[in-house]
Amino acid sequence: DADVTQTPRNRITKTGKRIMLECSQTKGHDRMYWYRQDPGLGLRLIYYSFDVKDINKGEISDGYSVSRQAQAKFSLSLESAIPNQTALYFCATSKEGLDTGELFFGEGSRLTVL
């Protein structure tokens, strides 16, 4: 079983709909992240969380919200989806700060907003 699991893996929705992408991990890491990947732009950080009570905005948080329901669960919501949010979304975890450690990624959630 994957250590970082994302659901759904693929989703097609319409403009204005509310969408939730879920992430769960079995690695026991406190730090969790949501990234977005667009062709030619690399990965950009949306939100990150270092524990259940700690939520921080990343580079591109506008239009997104997150919920850290438990150490193992971190959800990303699009309250009112728009077409330019069409992208591949990744959840990731880390055991320690990124000045010394690495990220562990899920398999991604491909979202298409029509």
Contact letters for another protein, residues 1-20 (x by CB under 8 A)? ---x----------------
Distance from the Cα of residue 29 to its chain's centroid:
15
Contact letters for another protein, residues 30-59 (x by CB under 8 A)? ---x------xxxx-x--x-------x-xx
What residue type is assigned to position 104 of the chain? F
Residue nearer to another protein on the CB measure, 12 or 41: 41
Determine the Cα–Cα distance for residues 109 and 90; give it in Å rounded to an integer: 6
DSSP type of residue 1: -
Beta strands at 109-113 and 42-51: parallel, antiparallel or unpaired = unpaired
Pair 16, 80: CB distance under 8 Å: yes
Contact letters for another protein, residues 95-114 (x by CB under 8 A)? --xxxxxxxxxxxx-x----
The residues of the shown chain that bind another protein, judged by CB under 8 A, are 4, 33, 40-43, 45, 48, 56, 58-59, 88, 90, 92, 97-108, 110
